[in-house]
Structure 1
């Protein structure tokens, strides 16, 4: 399922009048942030089509979904960018993007490129950290709590999260309400809480117009 976000994709998959040069095929969890960056920077060169964010719970769907989206849209654009990290595909997404000749953001997942891939890799001791982004702070119940059955069996929290030590909220924005939500998530999981204001990390450079 391909969901056009900014309304410029026509029903046949081709861009509407005033063609953009670049299509970003992205995880739905990034839709709000990419749309914000497009607006803030005046990036009229970008169109955005998103795949379901819930596929992070089913990474086997990501590679065929991205491949289908690229093949469906690529003839209408000069450039196609894939705004996904590896996201549990075991390197298969990068292989597919290389085969298709499209650029993918270089990171294992969105937590890494939000913090900055190099900075994220410099903290191997955080293997026991559970990460949230703005999106996951908003959608914690829908993407974590209920899919794991913790709404029905909260006693399973220890089984799922007993080996984690802290929850790290990688904040894209200064939002007190989201900070409170993220802190509540940490409390519910029995984890210590840390907030880092990362902003959009490596994402703006990836989306910016190429010279």
Structure 2
């Protein structure tokens, strides 16, 4: 039997670890359902996957929240508006985690490629294999050639992840900068949703459809 006070969060798996920690810290009655992060390589499939997860819940008894950025899915927000489901604000997880620091980094160097803890951990699976760069190394220049540096937005400081981020920057042949940002606006926006308050924003929270610091296959 469903708990009428339960919230079902449908989220990208790239945020799964952080979301579980935030949910536990606040003691929220939340059931988290995640979607494979590889869909970022096929953003046109994200809305359908979100719709499937939402359909598994009972909207008459379960509150529904979607924890995704815009992430290049042009029909996601219109679908959620029609369904009456709230989404965490933001174009992508880099802005959610980085907040104002993300804005500063982009103003300083628009050609910045961003990393998070999840992307560092999943680089081989999500990028090298997911984008078929091992089979087609010639794609590297096409996908990353316009970037000028790498910025690692650190959620939890770990030397092994920093070392891996250095390896990624070396593979990209780009300089690396690091910023410890924690969970940033992701946590603040979730708390606002759960408390029925306005979500905090940055100057790029809305209307950043063309700025996805993540290569995708069309």
**TM-score if structure 1 supplies the norm length?**
0.83
C-alpha separation between the residues in 2 aligned to 1:75 and 1:155?
47
1:119 offset after TM fit, Å?
4.6
1:153 offset after TM fit, Å?
4.5
Q: What is the aligned length?
A: 193
C-alpha separation between the residues in 2 aligned to 1:159 and 1:100?
38
Q: Which ranges of 4 or more aligned residues in structure 1 deviate by more than 4 Å?
A: none
Show the counterpart of 2:102.
Answer: 120
CA contact (8 A) 1:128 1:165 kept: yes
**TM-score if structure 2 supplies the norm length?**
0.80
1:119-138 equivalence runs, <5 A: 119-122=101-104, 123-138=106-121
Q: Residue 160 of structure 1: which of 136, 143, 158 is its match?
A: 143
Q: Does residue 150 of structure 1 match 2:133?
A: yes
- Uncovered stretches (5+) of structure 2, i.e. residues with no partner: 197-218
Show the counterpart of 2:40.
Answer: 56
Show the counterpart of 2:160.
Answer: 177
Show the counterpart of 2:57.
Answer: 73
- Uncovered stretches (5+) of structure 1, i.e. residues with no partner: 1-13
Show the counterpart of 1:33.
Answer: 18
CA contact (8 A) 1:130 1:164 kept: yes
SS in 2 for 1:75: coil
With 105-114 and 67-76 compared, the bigger mean Cα shift is at 67-76
1:42 offset after TM fit, Å?
2.6
Q: Residue 188 of structure 1: which of 164, 167, 171 is its match?
A: 171
Over 3 Å counting, the alpha-carbon distance change for 1:76 and 1:180 in structure 2 is farther
C-alpha separation between the residues in 2 aligned to 1:61 and 1:162?
26
CA contact (8 A) 1:22 1:80 kept: yes
C-alpha separation between the residues in 2 aligned to 1:134 and 1:41?
22
Higher-RCO chain (CA-CA 8 Å, sequence separation at least 6): 2
Per-residue CA deviations over 1:16-63 (Å, capped at 9, x if unaligned) read: xx67521110011111111111223333x1110011111111111111
